[in-house]
Homo-oligomer: A and B are copies of this chain.
Amino acid sequence: MAIPRAAKTQRRTRIQEEKEEKILEAALDVFSVSGFRGSTIDQIADVAGMSKPNLLYYFRTKEAMHRALIDRVLFTWLEPLRAFDANGNPESEIRSYIRRKLEMARDFPRESRLFANEVLQGAPHIEDELKGPLKDLVDEKAEVIKSWAKAGKIAKCDPYHLIFSIWSTTQHYADFDVQVLAVLGQEQAGSGRFEDAARFLEQLFIDGLRVKPAS
């Protein structure tokens, strides 16, 4: 009898482990480009090198695949913000947050696009995660930033919009990569663009947030 469909048994088989991994890897490829609606199980099956029914043996529906993928990626995705240290030096915390986010945009562009696609299309599958864990984490870090501003360690500013602007500027290099490449042109298209971006963004945010001499 083949009803297990993964996780029905207490312990996951080695084969389950491997195949689910393979499927989610392929799913990431496909969903990150075409979004949920625009992706098909057949495409994912093709990329994974497996048959469609075989995919559906491990994940009962297309939605289950998407969900599993989101769940797996979300935690990692929030890691840089979680690492934001209230007791650290404000300037270097912001600097390294930007660095880290930019590194993720460079090293995990598919993950970035997966969320971008999802949010762009109204976040029908991750609304709860946004209003729950994400909001909570941002609220917490916003408090930290606010206290820094109050203590005169950085310029007074809206912490939420600061976080939004760091998100958008860094993820831009993953989500809109084609556009960035098109505008920069062949010559500058080497991966040096990430270094250039890092330099620019650090300058922008550090100088932009420096406390101004009382005028």
When the two chains form their complex, are residues A182 and B130 in contact, meaning their CB atoms are under 8 A apart? yes
Within 8 A of B (CB), among A93-121: 113, 116-117, 119-121
How many residues does chain A have at the interface if contact means C-beta atoms less than 8 Å apart? 59
Q: Determine if A53 is an interface residue (Cβ-Cβ < 8 Å).
A: no
Chain A binding site: helix, strand, loop or mixed by DSSP? Answer: helix
When the two chains form their complex, are residues A212 and B207 in contact, meaning their CB atoms are under 8 A apart? yes
Given the complex, which residues of B lie within 8 Å of A201, measured CB to CB? Answer: 161, 165
Query: A191 to B162, alpha carbons, bound, how many Å?
Result: 18
| Stretch of A21-29, A60-68, A166-174 on the interface side | A166-174
When the two chains form their complex, are residues B168 and A200 in contact, meaning their CB atoms are under 8 A apart? no
When the two chains form their complex, are residues B130 and A183 in contact, meaning their CB atoms are under 8 A apart? yes
Q: Determine if A176 is an interface residue (Cβ-Cβ < 8 Å).
A: yes
Q: How far is the CB of A64 from chain B (nearest CB, A)?
A: 19
> Could you pull out 16 A-B pairs where Cβ atoms are within 8 angstroms?
A35-B38, A35-B121, A38-B121, A119-B179, A120-B175, A131-B185, A135-B183, A155-B203, A157-B203, A158-B199, A161-B197, A161-B200, A161-B201, A165-B204, A204-B209, A207-B208
